[in-house]
Amino acid sequence: MYVDKGYNNPYTGRNVSGEDMKEQCILTASGLKEYVKSLGKLRFMAVCDGFLQKEAIARLEWLKNVVFFSDFAANPDYRSAKSAAELFREKNCDGLIAIGGGSCMDVAKCVKLFAMLDSEKSYLEQPLVNSDIPLIAVPTTAGSGSEATCYAVIYHNGEKQSITQESCIPDAVVFASEALKSLPPYQKRAGLLDAFCHGIESFWSVNSTQESCKYSDTAIRLVLENYRSYLAGDDTAAENMLRAANIAGRAINITQTTAGHAMCYKLTTLYGIAHGHAAALCLYRLMGFTALNTDKCIDPRGREYLEQTLSLIAAAMNCENIDAAAGRLGMLLSELELAAPNARKNDLDILVHSVNPIRLKNNPVLLSEEDIERLYRKIMIWGD
């Protein structure tokens, strides 16, 4: 086991230290036993993706009396989170391990919070309280960075429910490169772009801070320096990609996402493409739009600040300016063979009206409904 003391950051020439972030133990796979032992005698619930449960049981055989929960879908609903919390209490558990992707992390975070609430009432109607239940995250994808954020998303009656509570950030994260080996190639490509998009969007968010910008810069550079080796199966590059996703998650935890994410969600449901794929398609066009429309800046720090930030984004991508950076993202999408899906004429209205205006408030430039429509016309391939 080791506690991560910070990530080397070329943005400032110094490390991003533990003084700048919520303390979170970063563990090697071999360090997990030692960390669990340091917590005392706890009974753990392991929340894991269903297809991983057999492997998880084998890997955690040293941890006695583990309770497993995997009854949740890719977009988990309230019923699943409620059932998991009830099982956690029924089995007298007092620790959590989440093994999987972003949906798994969302369920585990909900268990950590819901277990502290009155089970006789709807958890969604009660104020959340701090929870000291230990939560260990073992991400098996490198992209969402959910293991570093205070956000969880579940669905109730078809409606998205966003849950935010600082104490649901996992206490420890295991970076195990071997956990990424079974990922399908498409999910690897889409995942690394998810982390990349988090870095860009957090960098230019109106909520950005000096700390979040350090994270963003580091995450962007790590993705671009490691993606080819990662996709080729290199273990060191895979661990670096896990770090990139985690650092980008820390950035988003401070700033939240912007227009790229607001515009990408409907693409995933309409066309069945992965989240990171959709986010990158949107961000590619947004980068060019932002470069041309800094006069529409809504960041209170002003247009000059935004233009400086765009220059820093370009530098992180090793590009001369933001236009060249947008071009590099377009080439990256092409290299990764992540094309825009074919859209139908009637989809345009659906897409435009799917955009969450709250996320647009975080965007550095003002976007009108007409702007969003024009962007979607460029993002997608339009047929009859």
| Digit-coded pLDDT (tens) for 258-294 | 999 999 989 998 999 999 999 999 999 999 999 999 9
CATH class held by domain 185-382: mainly alpha
pLDDT tens-digit readout, 297-341: 999 999 999 999 999 999 999 999 999 999 999 999 999 999 999
| Residue 8 DSSP class | E
**Residue 17 pLDDT:** 35
- pLDDT tens profile 47-73: 998 777 777 777 788 888 899 999 998
Would you say residue 244 has pLDDT above 60? yes
Q: Is the pLDDT of residue 10 over 60?
A: no
Alpha helices in 93-149 (DSSP H): 102-114
Provide the 3-class DSSP secondary structure of residue 363: coil
In degrees, rounded to 5, the angle at the alpha carbon of residue 368 between the alpha carbons of residues 363 and 370 is 135
Q: Is residue 122 a contact partner of residue 93, using CB atoms and an 8 Å limit? A: no
Q: What's the mean per-residue pLDDT of the chain?
A: 90
Domain spans, the chain: 6-180, 185-382
Q: 383: pLDDT confidence band, cut at 50, 70 and 90?
A: confident
CATH 3.40.50.1970 at 6-180, yes or no = yes
Q: Residue 225 burial by CB count (10 A; 0-12/13-18/19+): exposed, middle or buried?
A: middle
Tell whether the model's pLDDT for residue 28 goes beyond 90: no
